[in-house]
Amino acid sequence: MKIQKIELARLYTGVKRAMLREDGQDLTQMGLIVALVAVGATAGMNSVATAVGTAFGSLGTFVSNLGGLMIH
């Protein structure tokens, strides 16, 4: 019984120390920031891709219409 109390006290002390350490918190915060930036970049790239596709489509239509106006 006494050995179990000692082991329980050691476990409690170890958990308490781990919770007070800030090294892991910094890593977790950086991971969350990286994830947030990745989600934002993905959402932004979707909009950019749509705009670029529309611009090239308009340019293609313009060039096609321009071909009919050329004098041979």
3-state secondary structure of 72: coil
Structural domain boundaries in the chain:
2-69
Q: Summarize pLDDT for 13-51 with one digit per residue, the tens.
A: 887 777 677 666 777 888 889 999 888 888 888 888 999
pLDDT single digits (tens) 44-70? 888 889 999 999 999 989 888 887 666
Q: Is the dihedral angle over the CA atoms 10, 12, 16, 19 positive or is it negative? A: positive
- pTM score of the predicted model: 0.42
Report, as an integer, the average pLDDT of 8-17: 79
Kindly indicate the confidence band of residue 1, based on its pLDDT and cuts at 50, 70 and 90: low
